[in-house]
Chain A
Amino acid sequence: MNIEDLKKEFDQALAQMSDQDIVAAFAAIDCDVEIASEGWTHYEEFDTSSCQFVTRSFSAPSISDQLLAADSNELALAA
């Protein structure tokens, strides 16, 4: 079995799993994950007061929504 066969095997197994199945499989190996509805839900930022990286969540509207909106505005202006 070569690498391409292994990739196919992986894809086939993954295709049979729902998002909930995958989250449950990771939970079973003691890893807390989530399925993002779009884009990244968390990002790291250097906190100058504590002098360490902290994980922050994107707040609604998401960054991707804001970027899309910005693109639309630019398109509207261009038109």
Chain B
Amino acid sequence: MDFNTTAFIADYTTKGYHGTSREAAASIKTSNFSLSRGDDHWLGVGAYFFEEGISNASENAEYWAKVSAWNNSQKTYEYDVYNVLKVPICFKRIWDLCSREGLELFEYARRQLTQKRKLRPTESASGRKFDNSVIEFTANLHGFDGLRSWFFIKLDKQSRVLAVKPGIPNVTVLCARNPQDSILLDEIEILKEGYVSR
């Protein structure tokens, strides 16, 4: 595995792996990905994928599809059949937070905003939300249409049940900020189909 060293990569073509229900996969193949939103999202608003890197991306997508099916409040699976999609993605300028310079740019932006311009998150924007917003703000300024970073994501039942909180990342994550422009819809493949509860 080769590590990129620069803050961003121009004209970056890659494969993203996405695990979801069979119904959602069918919808994606016709209507493209919808933007995923939420305060706890890793890299802000966008469509999310696993990429080959520090672990097997298609396996990660499969595990994700299985654990995401479980509705913990209702103690039931929301879907029975999952798909793993292999998605060709072309980024014009992807901000690489796996690289030293990519992280350096984030830290620089955060310091300039919080120390030079005295920007402070209010109570509602504490925790991960503020960092995500600094990422989105900076990505908007530089015209980055994609992001890549490492994270630890709980991909198996055991880590979820035990509520482990490891600090070392286990997956490489991609975020496509404008899926309509970045994703080659006609070339999406269903890599795998399976049952979540078996």
Interfacial residues, chain A to chain B (CB-CB below 8 A) = 1-3, 6-7, 9-11, 13-14, 19, 22-23, 25-26, 29-38, 40-42, 55
Contacts and interface: CB of A to CB of B under 8 A. Distances in A.
Chain B interface size band reads 20 to 34
Contacts of A1: 8
A2 B37 CA distance: 31
A7 B133 CA distance: 18
20 contacts: A3-B7, A7-B108, A10-B105, A14-B116, A14-B141, A19-B117, A22-B113, A22-B119, A26-B125, A29-B137, A31-B125, A31-B129, A31-B132, A31-B136, A33-B125, A33-B130, A34-B120, A35-B117, A55-B123, A55-B126
Contacts of B104: 3
A9 B44 CA distance: 22
A29 B121 contact: no
Given A6-B7, A10-B112, A29 B142 contact: no
Q: Is the interface of B mostly helix, strand, loop or mixed?
A: helix
A72 B120 CA distance: 28
Contacts of A11: 112
Interface of B: 6-8, 37, 44-45, 101, 104-105, 108-109, 112-113, 116-126, 129-130, 132-133, 136-138, 140-142
Given A7-B108, A10-B112, A13-B141, A29 B119 contact: no
Given A7-B105, A29-B44, A31-B130, A22 B142 contact: no
A41 B130 contact: no
B133 to A, nearest CB: 4
Contacts of B138: 10
Nearest to B5: A3
